[in-house]
Chains A and B, each alone.
Chain A
């Protein structure tokens, strides 16, 4: 399937399209993290191939229009505005037929691969041997669950390479849109409806994603990461996530923090397995395994975490997390506890 696609990609006018994309990519020294032109899954590859093809056709049409335009304005017309026009021809059957049928043919050439790809990427049921991932969008963070396991995590999705991933999309509030450019196109997350997306990631690595449908004040702060792991890495990650939370050694700052957490309003919204059962905010059982916090807008280090707990609204306008007024050593201990939850 992939071979056929690759062949088609380089047929016809594709070199022209590739040239443009090369120029496009060349303008930037490093690959932007959300580049759609660096596909890392079969889904993204299909789209990329189609994009190159349509870009080529577009450039071809643009070329014709620009050449005709330049000839019309600068070559075949008199530019005095006074004399009789060189031509008063105002109809030509053959020409008009040509520019009706020509574009029609090009559109046919575009629509065939388009429809093929539509039916290839929108499957009614999960493909065989797929890993099912359940995504729940919240204002303004992402929750990821793995049906059949107890894993609940936030803002960082781990998936294995070379295995179909069947993503089910649900929302807790308004419409969002799940988008990881390197892994393929976006899909809206809509209340009262479960949408699906599937792809096979082919290169291990860390990929950026972001909510793509306007969802309120902090729409811009609803980012996430996808980690494509080797099967071994993934199995290890899975095993760790399924385990209970780390118990801090008594007497440490983390242990003091654990007590603070257990008696704080944090428990109303956050789950730490065996400690609390809140479900409004992200699950914190293994928060220390994540590289980012707060919808992947901040690093997961003590400094950022502290800043976040001190005043969430300043960092993510409109955030549902309240300012709890934790300060000084209390806050340091809480942060130490959270950072110990590997």
Chain B
């Protein structure tokens, strides 16, 4: 059965990386963590702390997901599952923060819209 053979072949294609890749990724993770802690302690970086920390942690997140969780090597199906869930999770987080008014000034784009709709108000 060709379909079965194709599936089997596909299944075998998922060769996971060896120990050297894993150790390199670990080294990167340690370096990134060290950078994060530096950002926390160096007061000169205070103004850019939030974006820096977010970038660094996203990098760590991505490294673990791609290499240790093999998303880079496995089927796109698994990546899609995870990315979709992450998208919903992120939207939920942002929406709740907006609704509880911590980032509400970002939502004021609605006000000009209302002005257009409300001439003379």
Residue numbers of A with Cβ under 8 A of B are: 112, 115-116, 118-120
Q: Is B118 an interface residue (CB 8 A)?
A: yes
- On chain B, the residues within 8 Å of A119 by CB distance are 114, 117-118, 121
Cβ B118 vs Cβ A112 within 8 A: no
Interchain nearest-CB distance for A65 vs B (Å): 29
| Bound CA–CA A173/B92 (angstroms) | 29
Give residues in B with beta carbon < 8 Å to A: 113-114, 117-118, 121
B120 nearest CB neighbor, chain A only:
A1
Q: Are A120 and B117 in contact (CB under 8 A)?
A: no
6 contacting pairs across A/B (C-beta < 8 A): A116-B117, A116-B118, A119-B117, A119-B118, A119-B121, A120-B118
Tell whether, in the assembled complex, residue B117 and residue A112 are in contact, meaning their CB atoms are under 8 Å apart: yes
Q: Which residues from A are CB-within-8-Å of B117? A: 112, 115-116, 119
User: Chain B's nearest CB lies how many Å from the CB of A86?
Assistant: 38
Q: Interface on chain A toward B: helix, strand, loop, or mixed SS? A: helix
Residue from the set B114, B117, B118, B121 with the largest chain A CB neighbour count within 10 Å: B117
User: B residues within 8 A CB of A112?
Assistant: 117
**How long is the Cα–Cα vector from A119 to B118 in the complex, in angstroms?**
8
Residues of B close to A115: CB separation below 8 A:
113-114, 117
Chain B residues within an 8 Å CB radius of A118:
114
In the bound complex, CA of A115 to CA of B121 (Å):
13
Closest 7 CB pairs of A and B: A119-B114, A116-B117, A116-B118, A115-B117, A119-B118, A112-B117, A115-B114
A116 to B114, CA, bound (A): 7
* B43 CB to nearest chain A CB (Å): 36
A118 to B113, CA, bound (A): 12
Shortest beta-carbon distance from B99 to chain A in Å = 13
Nearest neighbor of A113 in chain B, beta-carbon distance: B117
Cα–Cα distance between A115 and B117 once the two chains are bound (Å): 8
Closest to A4 in B: B120
How distant is the Cα of A46 from the Cα of B2 in the complex, in angstroms? 68
| Least Cβ–Cβ distance between A120 and chain B, in angstroms | 7
B113 neighbours in A (Cβ, 8 Å): 115
Assembly CA distance A119 to B116 (angstroms): 12
Nearest to B114 among chain A residues (CB) is A119
A23 CB to nearest B CB, Å: 32
Q: Shortest CB–CB separation between residue B95 and chain A, in angstroms?
A: 18
- Kindly provide the distance from the CB of B114 to the nearest chain A CB, expressed in whole angstroms: 4
Known: A115-B113, A115-B114, A119-B118. 4 other contacts (CB 8 A): A115-B117, A118-B114, A120-B118, A120-B121
Distance in Å from the Cβ of A135 to the closest Cβ of chain B?
A: 23
CA separation between A119 and B111, bound complex, in Å?
9
The distance in angstroms between the C-alpha atoms of A115 and B114, with both chains bound, is: 7
Report Cα–Cα, A100/B117, bound state, in Å: 24
B residues near A120, Cβ cutoff 8 Å: 118, 121
In whole angstroms, how far apart are the Cα atoms of A112 and B114 in the complex?
9
A234 to chain B, nearest CB (A): 29
- Among A112, A118, A119, A120, find the residue whose CB has the most chain B CB atoms closer than 10 A: A119
Q: Give the complex CA separation of A247 and B115 in angstroms.
A: 57
Per the bound structure, the CA–CA distance linking A314 and B114 in Å amounts to 51
With the chains together, A196 CA to B77 CA distance in Å? 49
Measured CA separation A116–B120 after assembly (Å): 11
